[in-house]
A = this chain, B = another copy of it.
Amino acid sequence: MKRNVLIIGAGGVAQVVAHKCAQNNDILGEIHIASRTLSKCEAIIASVHEKGAMKVEGVLQPHALNARDSAAVVALIRETGAEIVINVAQVFVNMPVLEACIEAGVAYMDTAIHEEPDQICETPPWYGNYEWKRRAACAEKGVTAILGVGFDPGVVNAFARFGIDEFVPQVESIDIVDINAGSHGRWFSTNFDPEINFREFTGTVYSWQKGAWQENTMFEVGREWDLPVVGTQKAYMTGHDEVHSLATNYPQADVRFWMGFGDHYINVFTVLKNLGLLSEKPVVTAEGLEVIPLKVVKAVLPDPASLAPDYVGKTCIGTLVKGTRDGKPAEVFVYNVADHKDAYLEVGSQGISYTAGVPPVAAAILIAKGVWDVSRMVNVEELDPKPFFEVLDRIGLPTRVKDATGDRPWNA
């Protein structure tokens, strides 16, 4: 049983996390939001109050914090009395925040893997480069650390575990498919920070197939998927965090991640990449100004948060598990459909931020209740998925399954 939440970060996902924590503050207790820029925390708090999101009267407080400074994070944890830290800051601060939680003996979670700013796409399994090196320290101190508990990675890992446990005990493949069939009405925009978005696609695409890491390039391998609600959509094999833990926990299965991209996105990405405009290395203009092209691209693109009011349509993200059961072929697709406009009306954010921000709050609720307070470092597929789905059903991201017998809620 733990109480009081410290949210680190004040971007689009933090906004969703804050709203959802507020809606559940009877369970979670005090809510603190910390970011380098205090005014961004204050803007989120104003938005929470505007929607009247606090379930019961309570603390909702902003803090200025440099999260790269582990000692400062420890001090803020102690000052606030937070027992649960939800880290949704830029991925460059994961390790100092994790260190602080181990030091302070409180629960940690994040939604994406740690990255160093000057390195793109390190050797697999990615978790082995940073996070898993702190497994022993977590176990020794009895610290609960849940890695990658957004939607993907996160909920899709639980979908995989559930699909295997309940439908396909002899698993042969796990395919995660992420389709955003929404429309923001702009000529072009990324759905989250363009710098992070483009970094995700400029490196090697790792997948786990036939018991080994396979390497491809982005947009090299594509196929069409016929999915509930969003219909037939083309998706491309993409490097993604959850492949790296699922391949470790289910080495007997092929593990792949597929992300949907329209031809327009691919064209813009290809032009920018081939011209050198996605480079994180500086160039010098004819006038002698040193500038990083990717940061100029970010400067001319729309702020992803600005898309929310006009965003319409739905996302479908799920995990297809295939293999055999009792010697016979078996498969199941475990998935969620979310709606951009519903997300905006509820928490003032678009659907991509919503699907990423709701799951860590569900995990926080399970830690607060002791259900997931496992006193060690885990990836989501190592936890019982059913209580997770129950909370997600209640707080906005219902889980469904589709198999040969039909399409229905996971617990129907």
Interface residues in chain A, defined as those with a beta carbon under 8 Å from any beta carbon in chain B: 187-188, 267-268, 271-272, 274-277, 279, 283-287, 289, 291-293, 295-301
Contact = CB atoms under 8 A, between A and B. Distances in A.
Given A188-B271, A285-B291, A293-B296, 18 more contacts: A187-B274, A268-B275, A271-B272, A275-B297, A275-B301, A277-B297, A283-B299, A283-B300, A284-B299, A285-B295, A285-B296, A286-B295, A286-B299, A287-B295, A289-B289, A291-B291, A293-B299, A296-B296
12 contacts: A188-B275, A267-B267, A271-B271, A271-B272, A284-B299, A285-B292, A285-B298, A286-B295, A289-B291, A289-B295, A291-B296, A293-B300
Contacts of A292: 285
B286 A300 contact: no
A299 B301 CA distance: 19
Contacts of A276: 300
A285 B299 contact: yes
Contact of A271 (B267, B285, B295): B267
Contact of A298 (B188, B286, B300): B286
A267 B263 CA distance: 13
Contact of A283 (B268, B289, B296): B296
Nearest to A268: B271
9 nearest A-B residue pairs (beta carbon): A276-B300, A271-B271, A285-B295, A283-B299, A285-B299, A187-B274, A296-B296, A291-B291, A268-B271
A35 to B, nearest CB: 14
Nearest to A264: B271
A219 to B, nearest CB: 15
Contacts of A286: 295, 298-299
Contacts of A283: 296, 299-300
Contacts of A275: 187-188, 268, 297, 300-301
A289 B290 CA distance: 10
A3 to B, nearest CB: 35
Contacts of A272: 271
A296 B295 CA distance: 11
A222 to B, nearest CB: 20
Given A295-B285, A295-B286, A300 B277 contact: yes
Contacts of A296: 277, 283, 285, 291, 293, 296
A296 B277 CA distance: 8
A289 B267 CA distance: 28
Contacts of A295: 285-287, 289
Nearest to A193: B286
Best-buried of A283, A291, A293 by chain B (most CB within 10 Å): A291
Nearest to A186: B274
Nearest to A287: B295
A188 B271 CA distance: 9
Nearest to A290: B289
A23 to B, nearest CB: 31
B274 A188 contact: yes
A308 B191 CA distance: 41
